[in-house]
Chain A
Amino acid sequence: MKQIVRTIVKRKRPIRILLAKPGLDGHDQGVKVLALGLRDEGMEVIYTGLRQTPEEIVAAAIHEDVDVLGLSSLSGAHNHHFSRVVTLLPKEERDAILIIGGGIIPDEDIPFLSQNGVKAVFGPGTRIEDIADFIRANAKKC
């Protein structure tokens, strides 16, 4: 009988994550709390600050050599901004970086986002631990 072995990858370095706020939305309590929370979980977190264009976010993700890119939006412009960030990422980065989203995002938009490369969407009330677990299970690079 073939045994399925779930290998726990021993990572060479802590997971690096870039948290970004695309667009004009200024609500960043959630993203700041997440930054501090993921730091507590042992990850290296970089937060871009507000009002980043998709181009700036992509440049930062590549420059910082991150494993995970977290996008936050509470203004309703997520479909446009998130998919634009993914489109702008070079193909190999798109495959290597785990892209996740959060904020005020209606359930009915999630299929669109997942078709556009956003692997998971975390809404209000999500536990940071759950996000961290998801990241650990799905981040590929390191």
Chain B
Amino acid sequence: MEKEELDQIKHATREWEAGPLRKVLERSGERKIFSEIPKKRMYTPEALDDFDYLRDLGFPGDYPYTRGIHPTMYRGRLWGMAEYSGFGMPEDTNKRWKFLLGQGQTGVSLACDLPTQLGYDPDHPLAESEIGVVGVSCPSLREAETLFEGIDMDKITIRGSINHPHMILWAMYIAIAERQGIPPEKLGGTVHWDCLNEYVGRGAYIFPPEGAMRLALDFLEYGLVHIPRVSYMVNAYTIRESGATLIQEGAYAMSAAIAFMEAARQRGIDVDDFAPRLSFNHAIHMNFFEEIAKFRALRRLWAKITKDRFGAKKSSSMLFRLGLGTGGSTFTSQEPENNIARATVESLAAILGGATYLHTASYDEAYAIPTETTVRIALKTQLILAHESGVAEVVDPLGGSYYVESLTDQIEKEVMDYINEIDRRGGIVETIRSGWFQGEIAQSAHRKQKEIEEGKRVVVGVNKFVTDEKPSFEIHRAESRVAEEMKGRVKRLRKDRDSQRFENALSGLRKAAEGKDNLVPFAVEAVKAYATIGEICHVLRDVLGEYKSLSF
């Protein structure tokens, strides 16, 4: 903008402030606004006096990618939709997946139960009461075969939240695909790969950081060659859901990605081989414009980091691939139907923020994993936004808004400051090891709770506009038959399998783990020999050690 024009606007703004605005403020004042990020009442070109369209925004699919990572964004292809889903026995989940795929879902997102995620078989004492509860029980290749029965693995994308043992789950996918006659290079999906976030949020860790990083890098090294269509996910979702601010969430994503890129570089993996396969998983919370600006800011920041810090040459290395989930922690148990409105607002922010993939939480999130009805409503929320609302018609429709651009700049700067702080403290791995980062997040969570209790931060139906009405709807309950059945199956499997092949596979894996060989081929062989996830993790725990949680 020409200086003269800007001066005119500034002058006119002062006049407006001294005139009509002042009159109203004197007469009736203003509401008290609560938000994490301080904001002005209104934005004009004055907020963007340093704005340079080509430098700061450019075009979608062009550096610095503020407007999106593809030139056509949703005019070319809509975002991917897959509800995170799994419960009970593999056949229960298989049925749910087929239902969702029939309802417009484009891939599957596997939710495993806690024993599977943490490497315990159903008959392990620690698995008691947890089998098939928060996800499906999938302890062996035999069960994974049932999970994917009748689903063409090359037609869908696969995600799945199993973290430290992701290698074992993907070994199962590879084995099943092979049986379906699909070569591994045709498998597409996202590996739940970020071993670090588990020490901060969600808590689904097994191994200490060194061991977990080794598994992740072994898988990366193998995957880049043999399953080239999968992407590797950095997961900041759990960080936000543990109470982090939006700035901390963004800084975690960048700092963790930096740590992984550095580790990959130490293994001799070129940044332009790895970065194009990296993706990010984030949460969307309720402050609509902040969330949109967050994603725009992170896209730009990631482009700068890959280019300037890592010297990436390929443009595909600089793309911030953005998987999103609506914030489960923003969904309330009070008046749960209100959560459908929350899911809509958050999903809309995801779309306006340029999501590549979206999971919408179901309105019964604060009670249990979803029923077929509630998960259908969640998926249809996305489909209504995609096909009825028109929001997907234009690329980055908020681009150029004085407010959104200014907020994008502000968030980018604050995230960068926080990344620098983490760097000063030795990087994200070090701040997690020392517990500093966990402490920071716990403080934020505590502050947020206080704001809610003091009524500063309004949660409708919880601390304001409260009713006594008790919700009445059907919630998903885990069936007790599942535990007994799964225990029986794993015991039968151990009897039925070729014990020689099994023994050989596990001792091969142990030897490889003790040495420096890449573990993936050994994991694939162990899985094919019908070693269970518990047995494989037992070997890995023995060699790599076990992480003991810090209190904070």
Chain A: residues with CB nearer than 8 A to chain B?
A: 23-29, 32-33, 36-37, 47-51, 53, 75-77, 79-81, 104, 106-107, 123-125, 127-129
| Bound-state Cα–Cα, A49 to B334, Å | 28
Q: Once the chains bind, are A75 and B133 in contact (CB under 8 Å)?
A: yes
| Bound-state Cα–Cα, A127 to B478, Å | 29
Q: Once the chains bind, are A128 and B449 in contact (CB under 8 Å)?
A: yes
Q: Once the chains bind, are B366 and A25 in contact (CB under 8 Å)?
A: no
Q: Once the chains bind, are B449 and A76 in contact (CB under 8 Å)?
A: no
Chain B: residues with CB nearer than 8 A to chain A?
A: 114-115, 118, 120, 126-130, 133-134, 198, 201-205, 241-243, 329, 332-334, 366-368, 442-443, 445-446, 449-450, 453, 459, 462-463, 470, 475, 478, 548-552
Q: Once the chains bind, are A50 and B203 in contact (CB under 8 Å)?
A: yes
Q: Once the chains bind, are A49 and B446 in contact (CB under 8 Å)?
A: no
Q: A76 — which chain B residues lie within 8 A by C-beta?
A: 129-130, 133-134, 368, 478
Q: A127 — which chain B residues lie within 8 A by C-beta?
A: 453
| Bound-state Cα–Cα, A59 to B93, Å | 39
Q: Once the chains bind, are B128 and A129 in contact (CB under 8 Å)?
A: no
Q: Once the chains bind, are B203 and A33 in contact (CB under 8 Å)?
A: no
Task: Summarize A's interface: helix, strand, loop or mixed.
Answer: loop
Q: Once the chains bind, are A125 and B203 in contact (CB under 8 Å)?
A: no
Q: A123 — which chain B residues lie within 8 A by C-beta?
A: 333
| Bound-state Cα–Cα, A23 to B128, Å | 8
Q: Once the chains bind, are A27 and B202 in contact (CB under 8 Å)?
A: yes
Could you list 9 A-B pairs, sorted by A, with CB under 8 Å?
Answer: A23-B114, A24-B118, A53-B126, A76-B368, A104-B333, A104-B368, A106-B475, A124-B332, A128-B449
A51 and B549 in contact (CB under 8 A), knowing A24-B118, A25-B114, A104-B366? Answer: yes
Q: In angstroms, how far is the closest chain B Cβ from the Cβ of A104?
A: 7
| Bound-state Cα–Cα, A15 to B333, Å | 30
Q: In angstroms, how far is the closest chain A Cβ from the Cβ of B112?
A: 11
Q: Once the chains bind, are B130 and A33 in contact (CB under 8 Å)?
A: no
Task: Summarize B's interface: helix, strand, loop or mixed.
Answer: loop
Q: Once the chains bind, are B130 and A23 in contact (CB under 8 Å)?
A: yes
Q: Which residue of A is nearest B448, CB measured?
A: A33
Q: A125 — which chain B residues lie within 8 A by C-beta?
A: 332-334, 459, 462-463
Q: Once the chains bind, are A33 and B243 in contact (CB under 8 Å)?
A: yes
Q: In angstroms, how far is the closest chain B Cβ from the Cβ of A29?
A: 5
Closest 6 CB pairs of A and B: A26-B203, A80-B129, A49-B549, A24-B114, A77-B129, A36-B446
Q: Once the chains bind, are A128 and B202 in contact (CB under 8 Å)?
A: no
Q: Once the chains bind, are B203 and A79 in contact (CB under 8 Å)?
A: no
Neighbour of B134 across the interface among A47, A48, A75, CB < 8 A = A75
Q: Once the chains bind, are A128 and B453 in contact (CB under 8 Å)?
A: yes
Q: Which residue of B is nearest A45, CB measured?
A: B551
Q: Which residue of A is nearest B203, CB measured?
A: A26
Q: In angstroms, how far is the closest chain B Cβ from the Cβ of A8?
A: 24
Q: Once the chains bind, are A24 and B242 in contact (CB under 8 Å)?
A: no
| Bound-state Cα–Cα, A125 to B334, Å | 8
Q: Which residue of A is nearest B328, CB measured?
A: A27
| Bound-state Cα–Cα, A29 to B448, Å | 11
Q: A80 — which chain B residues lie within 8 A by C-beta?
A: 128-129
Q: Once the chains bind, are B551 and A124 in contact (CB under 8 Å)?
A: no
A79 and B242 in contact (CB under 8 A), knowing A24-B118, A26-B204, A124-B366? Answer: no
Given contacts A37-B449, A124-B332, 6 further A-B contacts (CB under 8 A): A26-B203, A33-B442, A33-B446, A47-B552, A50-B203, A79-B129
| Bound-state Cα–Cα, A94 to B467, Å | 36
| Bound-state Cα–Cα, A26 to B443, Å | 18
Q: In angstroms, how far is the closest chain A Cβ from the Cβ of B483?
A: 10
A48 and B551 in contact (CB under 8 A), knowing A24-B114, A27-B203? Answer: yes
Q: B478 — which chain A residues lie within 8 A by C-beta?
A: 76
| Bound-state Cα–Cα, A27 to B241, Å | 9
Q: B449 — which chain A residues lie within 8 A by C-beta?
A: 33, 37, 128
| Bound-state Cα–Cα, A18 to B242, Å | 21
Q: Once the chains bind, are B329 and A29 in contact (CB under 8 Å)?
A: yes
| Bound-state Cα–Cα, A50 to B438, Å | 13
Q: Which residue of A is nearest B446, CB measured?
A: A36
Q: Once the chains bind, are A29 and B242 in contact (CB under 8 Å)?
A: yes
Q: Which residue of A is nearest B475, CB measured?
A: A106
Q: In angstroms, how far is the closest chain A Cβ from the Cβ of B175?
A: 26
Q: Which residue of A is nearest B368, CB measured?
A: A76
A104 and B367 in contact (CB under 8 A), knowing A24-B114, A81-B129, A125-B462? Answer: yes
Neighbour of A77 across the interface among B130, B462, B551, CB < 8 A = B130
A36 and B442 in contact (CB under 8 A), knowing A26-B202, A75-B130, A124-B366? Answer: yes
Q: In angstroms, how far is the closest chain B Cβ from the Cβ of A69?
A: 16
Neighbour of A51 across the interface among B133, B203, B332, B550, CB < 8 A = B203
Q: B133 — which chain A residues lie within 8 A by C-beta?
A: 75-77
| Bound-state Cα–Cα, A9 to B446, Å | 29
Q: B475 — which chain A residues lie within 8 A by C-beta?
A: 106
| Bound-state Cα–Cα, A51 to B118, Å | 11
| Bound-state Cα–Cα, A63 to B364, Å | 39
Q: A47 — which chain B residues lie within 8 A by C-beta?
A: 551-552
| Bound-state Cα–Cα, A47 to B203, Å | 15
Q: Which residue of B is nearest A130, CB measured?
A: B453
| Bound-state Cα–Cα, A36 to B204, Å | 23
| Bound-state Cα–Cα, A81 to B243, Å | 26
Q: Once the chains bind, are A50 and B241 in contact (CB under 8 Å)?
A: no
Q: Which residue of A is nearest B127, CB measured?
A: A24
Q: B549 — which chain A residues lie within 8 A by C-beta?
A: 49-51
Q: In angstroms, how far is the closest chain A Cβ from the Cβ of B84?
A: 15
Residue from A28, A37, A104, A127 whose CB has the most chain B CB atoms within 10 Å: A28
Q: In angstroms, how far is the closest chain B Cβ from the Cβ of A124?
A: 5
Q: B204 — which chain A residues lie within 8 A by C-beta?
A: 26
Q: Once the chains bind, are B202 and A37 in contact (CB under 8 Å)?
A: no
Q: Once the chains bind, are B445 and A32 in contact (CB under 8 Å)?
A: yes
Residue from A26, A48, A50, A75 whose CB has the most chain B CB atoms within 10 Å: A26
| Bound-state Cα–Cα, A79 to B114, Å | 16
A29 and B241 in contact (CB under 8 A), knowing A48-B551, A77-B129? Answer: yes
| Bound-state Cα–Cα, A27 to B134, Å | 12
Q: Once the chains bind, are A106 and B367 in contact (CB under 8 Å)?
A: yes
Q: In angstroms, how far is the closest chain A Cβ from the Cβ of B166?
A: 16
Q: A24 — which chain B residues lie within 8 A by C-beta?
A: 114-115, 118, 120, 126-127, 130
